[in-house]
């Protein structure tokens, strides 16, 4: 039941499903505590409740299950991590990230010998990191309040594993060395003679080295603070982005302050890439900050996508493409700074009834036009052409005037005229052009197809997957008598004016034309953009008299090889 709009608490009656093995309620809007009755599901091996609004503590009853996968991430769960989790001796993955957990990491985690993924990031965990005698493959303890030395058994992990814990120390890049000396460690590990002088001198030496290291550390901090203080930076009261690419450290400090060191109260959205925050800068400008969670990605492709987005958005400018104000490539974290979009994503606006009512027919037609103009710019005004490869309602953002902006260029690609442009399949399921699935060749027509899906989604208020399957079937007679007005978003009143009805019919014809099976039969986005500059209704009749088959077969564009 994942990825729906389920609300309210998880019912206690769930305990009646005694044979349940996999329970996935992730990506909903569930609230309240996790019911203790889940502990009665003795056959349960996978519990996924991620990306909800669940609160309260982790029920101890869960610890009595033989779970192989426990994912409670991206909620508002409080309290400490139960030490009883050691009972999950056969667990492969435990993800408690992005919650409000406090206290120390239980040392009993060392008993989980089968664990391959442990993610405790983005909480408020305190204390020292316990020893992990087993070999966990993927570990994430970042963005907490942990302190003390990083255990020797964990020094092989990347620095990002521990980033955001300012009081940790160890021989890992980006962290201060712990207040001890290698010489002392060698002395401590060597065979010591049972001599009174040695017994007295070792504590003295330890005290001397520790004190010296502490003094050096304090002097270093004072020097660094003075250097930052004496730097005449215009970012404190001026335009942050005027020096954004020249002094990342100052920008980084401003962002840390504006987001409360990435406090969850500033978080306005999450995804596979990381989290998005709303930040008010010293100049008063409101921006959106997308922070990359590289360890969550578990693959270097996310880092590549991050840098790919920087490359494209710093080079292209269009009124319907989201503006990149700046970026930070700090060793502690990496983030992008965009102009703030008050109304969020188009997907969100269409999913929520109250928001969808704000999107009247005029706004929806304008959103389609805005996306078309932006894609036309990317395909025909950029040299070489840029293909987005992931046009979807989640990647279209809306400002306070409900104007559309294409975002997320992490998978965008330049079309090389001297290359086959073969690539792996990327994009959002349900928007990917069918030919890309078998040819693996990306062209502008892949974006054209995705645009067609998006356009129907805007008219219908939901993804048109079922309609597309019916229309593409060998016997589309089932929709022979389906009229255009029957598929329009029922939450909106039918268009009152004849002109608006004609505009909607025009948009529908364009959508069906962009969804043609053969790429060469689809129009170019330049042609679509030009047609939108002078909308002419293709059919002069009421919406309830326009059948989908007639619209699908309408000869608006005569597409051929010259339009590729």
Residue indicated by tokens 């005004």: 381
Our measurement of the distance from residue 180's CA atom to the centroid of its chain's CA atoms, rounded to an integer in Å, reads 40
Q: Vertex 18, ends 9 and 35: CA angle to 5°? A: 25
Query: Does 303 qualify as catalytic in the annotation?
Result: no
Nearest to 543 by CA among 488, 489, 470, 468: 488
Close Cβ partners of 473 (under 8 Å, ≥ 6 residues apart): none
Close Cβ partners of 538 (under 8 Å, ≥ 6 residues apart): 505, 506, 509, 551, 554, 556
Q: Exactly one of 390, 408, 447, 503 is catalytic; which is it?
A: 390
Cβ density class 365-380: b for 16+ within 10 Å, e for less: bbbbbbbbbbbbbbbe
Distance between CA atoms of residues 329 and 215, nearest Å: 30
Q: Residue 563: is it exposed, middle or buried by C-beta count within 10 angstroms (0-12/13-18/19+)?
A: middle
249 is in an annotated binding site: no
Cβ density class 203-215: b for 16+ within 10 Å, e for less: eeebeebeeebee
Helix axes 525-533, 444-460, angle to 10 degrees: 40
Return the CA Rg of the chain: 28
DSSP for 289-334?
Answer: EEEE-HHHH-STHHHHHHHHHHHHHTT---TTB--EEEEEE-SS-E
Helix (H, G, I), strand (E, B) or coil at 127: coil
Helix (H, G, I), strand (E, B) or coil at 222: helix
List the binding residues for ATP: 290
Catalytic residue IDs:
390
């Amino acid at each position: 039941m994942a990825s729906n709009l389920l609300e309210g608490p998880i019912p206690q009656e769930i305990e009646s499903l005694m044979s349940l093995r996999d329970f996935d309620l992730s990506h909903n809007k569930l609230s309240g505590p996790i019911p203790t009755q889940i502990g009665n599901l003795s056959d349960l091996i996978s519990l996924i409740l991620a990306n909800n609004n669940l609160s309260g503590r982790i029920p101890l009853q869960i610890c009595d299950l033989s779970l192989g996968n426990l994912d409670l991430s991206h909620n508002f769960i409080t309290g400490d991590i139960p030490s009883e989790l050691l009972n999950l001796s056969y667990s492969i993955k435990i993800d408690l990230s992005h919650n409000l957990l406090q206290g120390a990491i239980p040392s009993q985690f060392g008993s989980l010998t089968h664990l391959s993924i442990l993610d405790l990031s983005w909480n408020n965990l305190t204390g020292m990191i316990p020893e992990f005698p087993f070999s966990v493959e993927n570990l994430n303890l970042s963005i907490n309040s942990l302190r003390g030395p990083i255990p020797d058994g964990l020094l092989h992990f990347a620095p990002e594993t521990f980033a955001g814990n300012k009081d940790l120390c160890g021989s890992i890049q980006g962290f201060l060395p712990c207040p001890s000396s290698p010489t002392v460690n060698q002395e401590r590990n060597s065979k010591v003679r049972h001599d009174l002088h040695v017994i007295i001198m070792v504590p003295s030496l330890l005290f001397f080295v520790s004190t010296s290291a502490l003094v050096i550390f304090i002097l270093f901090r004072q020097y660094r603070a003075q250097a930052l203080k004496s730097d005449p930076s215009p970012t404190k009261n001026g335009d942050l982005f005027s020096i954004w690419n020249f002094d990342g450290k100052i920008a980084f400090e401003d962002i840390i302050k504006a987001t409360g060191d990435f406090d969850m109260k500033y978080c306005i959205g999450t995804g596979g890439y990381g989290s998005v925050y709303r930040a008010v800068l010293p100049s008063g400008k409101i921006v959106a900050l997308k922070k990359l969670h590289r360890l969550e990605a578990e693959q270097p492709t996310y880092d590549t996508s991050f840098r790919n987005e920087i490359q494209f958005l710093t080079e292209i400018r269009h009124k319907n493409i989201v503006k990149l104000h700046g970026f930070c490539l700090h060793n502690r974290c990496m983030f992008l700074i965009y102009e703030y979009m008050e109304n969020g994503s188009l997907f969100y606006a269409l999913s929520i009834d109250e928001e969808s009512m704000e999107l009247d027919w005029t706004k929806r037609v304008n959103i389609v036009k805005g996306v078309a103009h932006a894609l036309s710019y990317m395909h025909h005004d950029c040299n070489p052409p840029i293909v987005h490869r992931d046009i979807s309602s989640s990647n279209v953002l809306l400002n306070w005037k409900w104007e559309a902006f294409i975002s997320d260029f992490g998978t965008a690609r330049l079309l090389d005229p001297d290359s086959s442009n073969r690539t792996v399949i990327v994009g959002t399921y349900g928007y990917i052009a069918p030919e890309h699935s078998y040819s693996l060749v990306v062209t502008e027509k892949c974006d054209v197809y995705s645009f067609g899906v998006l356009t129907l989604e805007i008219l219908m208020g939901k993804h048109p997957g079922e309609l597309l399957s019916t229309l593409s079937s060998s016997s589309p007679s089932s929709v022979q008598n389906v009229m255009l007005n029957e598929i329009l978003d029922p939450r909106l009143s039918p268009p009152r004016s004849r002109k608006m009805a004609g505009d909607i019919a025009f948009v529908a014809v364009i959508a069906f034309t962009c969804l043609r099976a053969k790429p060469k039969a689809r129009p170019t986005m330049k042609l679509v953009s030009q047609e939108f500059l002078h909308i002419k209704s293709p059919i002069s009749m009421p919406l309830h008299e326009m059948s989908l088959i007639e619209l699908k077969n309408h000869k608006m564009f005569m597409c051929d090889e010259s339009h590729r």
